[in-house]
Structure 1
Amino acid sequence: MDGEILRDPTRRFLLKTGAATGGGLLLSFTMAAEGAAAGATEVNAYVRIAPDGKVTIASKVPEVGQGIKTSLPMLIAEELDVDWSAVTVEQAIADTKVYGRQVAGGSMATTLEYDGLRRVGATVRALLIQAAAARWSVPADSCSTERGVVISGARRASYGELAEDAAKLTPPDPKTLTLKDPKAFRIIGQSHKSQNLDAITTGQPLYGIDTRLPGMLFATFAKAPVFGAKVASVDLAPAKAVKGVRDAFVIEGGSNLQGLLPGVAVVATNWWAARKGREALDIKWADHPTSAQSSAAFEAKAAELAKGPPQRVDRADGDVDAALKSAAKTVSATYSYPFIAHAPLEPQNCTAWVKDGKVEIWAPTQNPEPGRRLVAAALNVPEEAITIHLIRGGGGFGRRLNNDYMVEAAAIAAKAGAPVQLIWTREDDIQHDFYRPGGWHNLTAGLDASGKVTAWNDHFVSFGEGTNFAPSAGFNATQFPCRALDNYRVQVSVMPLGAPTGPLRAPGNNAFGFVLQSFTDEVAIAAGKDPIAFRRELLGEPRLLGAATERDSFHTGRMRGVLDLVAETSGWGRELPKASGLGVACHYSHMGYVAVVVQVTVKDGAIKVDKAWAAVDCGRQIINPKGAEQQVQGSVLDAIGAALHQQITFEGGATQQSNFGDFPLLRMADAFDVEVRFKLSDNNPTGLGEPAYPPAPAALCNAIFAATGKRIRSLPVGDQLA
């Protein structure tokens, strides 16, 4: 669609209608909104109605397993008033001029799109009613709709019959339209299986790795173990001698860890030949400044920084030092967490075709536009010459927010002179990730004689330079119990890092939930109080902490609601078998309030997770209940699997882990039941892909303490109980 994308805090709309191919109605809809909770965003939906009444809805946000390709079109279909069985969903192409924000990240899709996409459906429905009213010469308000049909008295006309007439009309201002009362919902709030589920379960080609083009070649790309090191020398002849290999060449690359790095590409008629050719290479890598970095050195430096004065103070409320000095009891502990990789089951891949000054890309990306910019800069082509097809990703978890694999594929295709599909090995994927960064929290809390918290101090040691954190290494200084205590302080010290870092599911919070809720549990035990009762006391009366317009505001009543619900559903306080324990944690992130209880049994140092319970407040409406439940279950399983087993370590500036043998995922045999309850509240609906992750590791470790008396202060748990 041509036209300016409007940026108007009063929610202005730009709409165009036209005839769809083969007849029918095609509606382009662009909306921009600046909401208090959502921030500035641009929203677009695309609807097509065929003469037979079939409706095609484009899903604008990339699908990486979070179910958004189902839930967002449900919003349109509900207000359009059609049967869900009549709807076909198509993945939209990457085009912000038409669709606005197209990012699968931050659990923001529902938050940003809920109102706007409902108005898309309502606008199409209004056009169809106008068309019917004009045909019958009756007032529009005498017409109603029901399951794809406009009705006025005894008159009936299907949407397919009216589509061409509707295409000639001027759309109404969507702001003037009345949306459905949620009590009348027939699609929203009902469980629907994921789009493409049948194709997924029967192994049909859907993913980026399944893309096939005429004359397509396959490629591998070898990069230095030390991030960003250049190619010093390489003999390409052994690779070129491998049967099926078409070419091998050096990519010079640059120093930007998020862009095109130096390496050697091997291009072949099949991927196995490309891999064999790569294995035949003898590459000498140039020295690099970060080759001396190691996990042991990071650990030692973190301990040194913790003992000294902080480099800066990010927040200071009240007089923490005085409050700690006058406290009846103080509790101090250091908590740490490691670097971890995303490890999606589908490794990074991208298919690119560079021809006649244009670039066409098929990518399972979570965030296509930065990839477009990378490719444009690397190939020296205008951004408008690049077409990006959004292909379903086999997991993302934040990894596919970076587009290094996209620019690599485009650079290789440009030199190969043919369409090329680049596929990373599993070793590539784990050793060249944008890792969740490690960190250390040196915490002290003060208690009065009644066991009430009077002061809280955190000296946070992380990675960065000067006043800047490394990507995703920062700490939000407004984390609860900030603003609930008069005396609260966050101090910061950082050290340099040569490894690339980036967001992982529930960025930052995935680690902070473990630290803050584990330490809260430790303080509760020191106060001689039940962990849930202690949290209730710390939360206090229901109130909003922080401005209502801030994403980092915190409502104590909403958190108390999920805490009480999870206590009830888990049977908190019941008697357990010997060597078993219950642990609780609650955390707010991505506008969702989640409390988790985990039950474990520990025998002879072996940990068995028996069950988990999760209570979630993500607003007044669950769009697709079954999909929502699965997102929460997946978050809890993912988080606990990582907490038990996963870490990335460095030696000589390079990643030491390489595959699932030394970076294990949670196995089916170790999976456990996760019972999910939703607590509806009178708040705007928000996302669910991430908020249940942060509290789960702390609930696990608090359960281990309840079962064994041993406090886990560093992750992964591993063999700490052996």
Structure 2
Amino acid sequence: MSARRQFLQHSALLGSGLALACFLPTRGDTLPRVRKPVPAPLPPGAGPGLQPHVLLRIDTQGHITLVSKLPEMGQGVKTSLPMLIAEELEADWRAVQVVQADFDAAYGPQTAGGSQSVPQHFDAFLRLGAMARTVLLQAAADTWQVPVSACHAKLSVVHHAPSGRQLRYGELAARADQLPLPDAASVVLKPAAARSLLGTRVPGVDNAAIVTGQRLFGIDIALPGMLHACCVKAPAFGARVRQANLDEVKRQPGVRDAFVIDQEAAGQDLQGLMPGVAIVAESTWAAQRARRALRVVWDEGPHLAVTREHWPEHLRQAQAWFDDASAASATTTAHTVRRDGDVAQALAQAAHRAEATYQHPFLPHATLEPQNATAWWQGGRIELWAPTQHPAGGVNRVARLLGIAPRKVTLHLTRCGGGFGRRLGADYLLEAAAIARRVNAPVKLTWSREDDTQHDHYRAGGMHRLRGGVDAQGRLIAWEQRAVGFANPAQRDGSGPLEPGPGTLLGGDEFPAGLVPHGLWLQHTRATGVPLGAWRSPGSNVFAWVSQSFLDELAHAAGQDPLAFRLGLLKGTSNSTSNSAHAQRQRTVLQTAAQAAGWGTALPTAPGLRRGRGIASHSSQGGHAAMVVDITVDAEGQLRVDRVVAAVDVGAQIVNLSGAEQQVQGAVVDGLSALWHQGLDIDAGRIVQSNFHDLRLLRLPEAPARIDVHFVRSQHPSTGLGEPALPPVAPAVCNAIFAATGVRIRDWPLARTSLIGCGNPHRAPPLASSSSSPWVMASSRWCR
């Protein structure tokens, strides 16, 4: 029996490990389980050799091919996950080629999101490498007629120490492929201290291709005879085309076709195919130029009342509900999330109290690569090339739109130019498929930046009103949080039950639930026609800002040091399993960041400059992060972030130190960009901002002069890193602004807040000097 057949049998023993990670289809995935070879051609003269799994092949010349099954969008999985296999395989990384998988049920779930890539695959991929190494060692032992215990592997070579003999993996591959694989559960993994590849700095496998301009991204796809398309979508959410000057558009140079995608074709899904006008041309430029000649009369739909001018009305109704939870209307839902003790009595008896309302805006994803997809409809089948985070969802939705079986949809995964949750949606795939069905040629759909900004699936706006109390001993004894979030109606026309956007609802273990004896968490949900979607670290990107900012308010109200106040809270016994488990890890990252930042020492200052330092922490997606931020505000009210010190605990093993460091640095920049500049205005059911001139991203002069990253090693399983590092950024910056100016930031973006002439009645403890060097990414280190 071949090794690969044995592997299919033994994989069932891995339970939620390799079997789940590599073989079991996701819910709703109706594709059959199929087998296919590793998607990379054999070099000339090489035989197939050892292929124990669809993710791994060693040919007879010793070339090792590893398959990256998940979409790569800058989070580094195309490098880090193959490193797990290579570590236990004892592979020479220099001989490893990593290739991108297409969508196929043979690979199991292929969704990238929620910082789940590492935790879902860590143990399974290590075991895959160990299983392959085991049969290679046995093949060598059989060749030499020696005990396998006398053999060891290093850098793709098996050594027999007593005789000094050695065999390269390529020489053993064919023989090893005939051996039975060991049970996955029985293989012995190397001790962590013996790992030689994990935890080192490994360049991204695509780095050279990116800097030399090779075609990796969806927007790079070019096929023979390919046409190009754009789609002018309804400007207001839920609107549809009433009439359009299609004949004039078709007369424009290079235009092949122009047609309406009507409501019936689009359906009622607010996040699905949108009604509009598609233009197909011989080039992207010809399509975009013809777009300028298009004139559309729109039926504006049911969401014209969604406007920033109505925000005060939302506030008024929310405040009415805050004061009387029974005031919810028919277009809202309200419920108690959690109740501990007696908040009203505890607040009445508190020695120190604080109350505040925080508002947060709708946010776009602003991926560097706008949405795009290439589609080719032929013979009742469709072939797609696209940057997507959720291939299975895209395939199934395209199949439903076209009325075909999912097995008739082929999806090639390209590299994504950013994701952040936006590419979990399938609207641009549906758009390309709808256009391709009408065109007898491959067609590439490219969204403009304006399309991307005004037709996103946004992070929901909302507001929180909080009240808290601290007793005479400085202990937090009362916490009340009333949250207002937004939800989509189930149908584009505004009908159907409300469906909250990802991360818009408070959870029963939201921090500091369980760490305070008297707590009340209430959720109020209002309808909106704005399409909602996951945004990097859903929920936590808002809840951390609210809770960590308000903790700071309570600390100052009680006259306590913000760090000491947090550490005292995290000492408490929790009746919330989640926060109880997280408390010690949060304490550790807080202490690590504070010590590295010099908390308690003086920040240098100068005439006209106000300096401040803030601190915040949060636990999300299995990771724990704390940040200390130094800021300066000048006499003109201009903010400068001087230094960010981050401490992050994502378990026992960092996979790729270089990629991990970049993830934290990127989270800092992303979080700063959103806090400082981003906040969407909505008028008459449409987004006002259109491009980077009025939807600013953080620019290089605004970036921190220094970002120090410290990884805290714990004995917990390794988890993902793309999201846990983002939530503490905003509250740490806002708390630093208060320390410098006495101004509390309770709304985004900062660019709309004046810091000129602010007093400084409450200054945090004097703090240490930060580096003035321009754009220094400080080296990361493990804290043992």
**TM-score, normalization by structure 1:** 0.94
| Counterpart AA for 1:215 | G
1:450 and 2:473 aligned: yes
- The Cα shift of 1:413 comes to 0.9
Q: Note the 1:591-606 alignment, pairs <5 A.
A: 591-603=622-634, 604-606=636-638
Q: Name the CA distance, whole Å, in 1 between partners of 2:729 and 2:415.
A: 27
Q: Which amino acid aligns with 2:194?
A: A
Cα distance in 2 between the residues matched to 1:258 and 1:137: 63
Q: Secondary structure at the match of 1:340?
A: coil
CA distance in 2, matches of 1:470, 1:618: 27
1:278 partnered with 2:291: yes
Encode CA deviations 1:475-530: one digit per residue, 9 max, x unaligned.
22312111111111111112110010111111111111111111110110001001
Residues 248-295 of structure 1 show CA distances to partners (whole Å, capped at 9, x for unaligned) of 111221220221121111111110101111221111111311112112
Pair 1:705 & 2:718 matched: no
Residue equivalent to 1:581: 612
Mean CA deviation greater in 476-485 or 584-593: 476-485
Amino acid at match of 1:606: Q
Aligned-pair CA distance for 1:358 = 1.4
Query: 1:553 offset after TM fit, Å?
Result: 6.4
| Distance of 1:553 and 1:46 partners within structure 2 | 39
Match of 2:48 among 24, 27, 32: 24
Letter in 1 for 2:633: V
The equivalent of 1:510 in structure 2 is 541
> Once the 2 structures are TM-superposed, how far is the Cα of residue 167 of structure 1 from its aligned partner?
1.6
Q: 1:120 aligns with which of 103, 125, 128?
A: 128
Q: After the TM superposition, which of the residue ranges 114-123 and 297-306 deviates more from structure 2? A: 297-306
Superposed, which structure 2 residues align to 1:297-336 within 5 Å?
A: 297-308=310-321, 309-310=324-325, 311-336=334-359
Aligned to 2:28: none
Match of 1:629 in 2: 661
CA deviations on 1:313-332 (whole Å, 9 max, x unpaired) are 11111111221122223210
Q: CA 1:544/1:28 → structure 2, altered by over 3 Å: closer, same or farther?
A: farther
Q: For residue 750 of structure 2, what is the amino acid of its counterpart? A: V
The amino acid across from 1:23 in the alignment is G
TM-superposed deviation, 1:591: 0.8
Q: 526, 532, 548: which one pairs with 2:563? A: 532
List per-residue Cα deviations over 1:222-258 (Å, max 9, x = no partner). 1111123111111211211111111111122122022
Q: Is residue 670 of structure 1 aligned with residue 670 of structure 2?
A: no
Alpha-carbon distance in structure 2 between the residues aligned to 1:93 and 1:463: 36
Partner residue in 2 for 1:696: 729
* % identity of equivalent residues: 45
- Aligned twin of 1:572: 599
Q: What residue in structure 2 maps to residue 40 of structure 1?
A: none
The one of 720, 740, 748 aligned to 1:687 = 720
5+ unaligned residues in a row in structure 2: which ranges?
A: 24-34, 326-333, 490-496, 757-784
CA distance in 2, matches of 1:243, 1:501: 37
2:277 to 252, 264, 269: 264
Change (3 A) 1:472 1:299: farther
Question: Match for 1:287: what amino acid?
Answer: E
- Structure 1 residue 719 displacement after superposition: 3.4
Q: Distance in 2 between matches of 1:477 and 1:669?
A: 41
The question of whether the paired residues in 2 share the 8 Å contact of 1:617 and 1:681 is answered with yes
- Separation (CA, whole Å) in 1 of partners of 2:580 and 2:203: 34
Provide, for residues 597-616 of structure 1, a one-character-per-residue CA deviation record: whole Å limited to 9, x for no partner. 11111112111111111000
Q: Please give the alpha-carbon distance, in whole angstroms, between the structure 2 residues aligned to 1:300 and 1:643.
A: 24
Give the Cα separation in 2 of the matches to 1:694 and 1:531: 18
| Distance in 2 of aligned mates of 1:471 and 1:620 | 29
Give 1:17 shift.
11
User: Is 2:216 aligned against 1:206?
Assistant: yes
Give the counterpart letter for 1:473 in structure 2: T
Looking at structure 1, the residues matched to 133 and 709 of structure 2 have their Cα atoms a distance apart, in angstroms, of: 35
Mapped to 2, the partners of 1:61 and 1:614 lie a distance apart of 28
User: What's the offset of the Cα at 1:592?
Assistant: 0.8
1:193 is aligned to 203
1:561 to 588, 604, 608: 588
| Contact 1:452/1:527 (<8 A) preserved | no
RMSD of equivalent CA atoms: 2.1
Question: What per-residue deviation string (whole Å, max 9, x for no partner) do you get for residues 29-74 of structure 1?
Answer: 4xxxxxxxxxxxxxxx610112211101001111000111111000
Q: Is the 8 A contact 1:456 1:488 kept in 2?
A: yes
Quickly say closer, same or farther: Cα 1:28–1:472, change in 2 above 3 A: farther
**Residue 133 of structure 1: CA displacement?**
2.3
Cα distance in 2 between the residues matched to 1:599 and 1:249: 55
Separation in 1 of the partners of 2:36 and 2:410?
Answer: 24
Is the 2:17–2:120 Cα contact (8 Å) retained in structure 1?
Answer: no
Q: Which runs of 4+ in 1 moved over 3 A?
A: 1-22, 465-468, 543-547
More moved, 477-486 vs 73-82: 477-486
Aligned-residue offset at 1:8: 6.5
Structure 1 pair 406–28 and aligned structure 2 pair: CA distance change class (3 A) = farther
1:413 matched residue in structure 2: 436
Aligned match of 1:255: 268
- Count of residue pairs brought into register by the alignment: 702
Letter in 1 for 2:737: I
Q: What residue is the counterpart of 1:167 in the other structure?
A: 177
Q: 1:219 maps to which residue?
A: 229
Number of the residue aligned with 1:351: 374
Instruction: Tell whether the 8 Å contact from 2:537 to 2:724 is kept in structure 1 after alignment.
Output: yes
In the other structure, the counterpart of 1:33 is none
**In 2, Cα distance between equivalents of 1:70 and 1:55:** 14
For 1:408, give the aligned amino acid: E
Aligned to 1:242: 252
User: Offset of 1:202 from its aligned partner?
Assistant: 2.4
Deviation at 1:149, TM superposition (A): 1.3
Preserved CA contact (<8 Å) 1:593 1:691? yes
Could you report, residue by residue, the CA deviation over 1:525-581 in whole angstroms, capped at 9, with x for unpaired residues? 00100110111111115x77644xx6x764211111010011111111221215010
1:462 to 479, 485, 504: 485
Instruction: Kindly provide the amino acid, as one letter, of the partner of residue 407 in structure 1.
Output: L
Residues 18 and 125, structure 2, Cα contact 8 Å, conserved in 1: no
What is the alpha-carbon distance in structure 2 between the residues aligned to residue 442 and residue 327 of structure 1? 18
Letter in 1 for 2:77: I
Report the alpha carbon displacement of residue 665 of structure 1 after superposing the two structures with TM.
0.3
1:103 maps to 2:116? no
Where structure 1 has 5 or more consecutive residues not aligned to the other structure, the ranges are 30-44
Conserved? CA contact 2:346–2:478, under 8 Å: yes
CA contact (8 A) 2:464 2:484 kept: yes
Q: Please give the alpha-carbon distance, in whole angstroms, between the structure 2 residues aligned to 1:185 and 1:263.
A: 55
1:612, 1:675 within 8 Å by CA — same for their partners in 2? yes
Check whether the contact 2:88–2:129 (CA below 8 A) recurs between aligned residues. Answer: yes
2:178 is equivalent to residue 145 of structure 1: no
Residue in 2 aligned with 1:642? 674
Q: Which amino acid aligns with 2:741?
A: T
Q: Say whether the 8 Å CA contact 1:17–1:28 is kept in structure 2.
A: no
Q: Shift in Å at residue 134 of structure 1? A: 2.4
Check 1:698–1:217 CA distance in 2 against 1; reply closer, same or farther (3 A cut). same
2:309 maps to what in 1?
A: 296
- Give the conservation status (yes or no) of the 8 Å contact 2:361–2:680: yes
2:318 alignment partner, SS class = helix
Report the Cα offset of residue 6 of structure 1: 4.7
Judge conservation of contact 1:229–1:288 (CA < 8 Å) in 2.
yes
Find the aligned partners of 1:554 and 1:638 in 2 and give their Cα distance.
Answer: 28
Structure-2-length-normalised TM-score: 0.87
Measured in 2, the distance between the counterparts of 1:438 and 1:48 equals: 48
User: Which residue of the partner structure matches residue 461 of structure 2?
Assistant: 438
Pairwise CA distance, 1:126: 1.1
- 1:711 deviates by 0.8
Q: Please say if residues 24 and 160 of structure 1, whose CA atoms lie closer than 8 Å, have aligned partners that are also in contact.
A: no
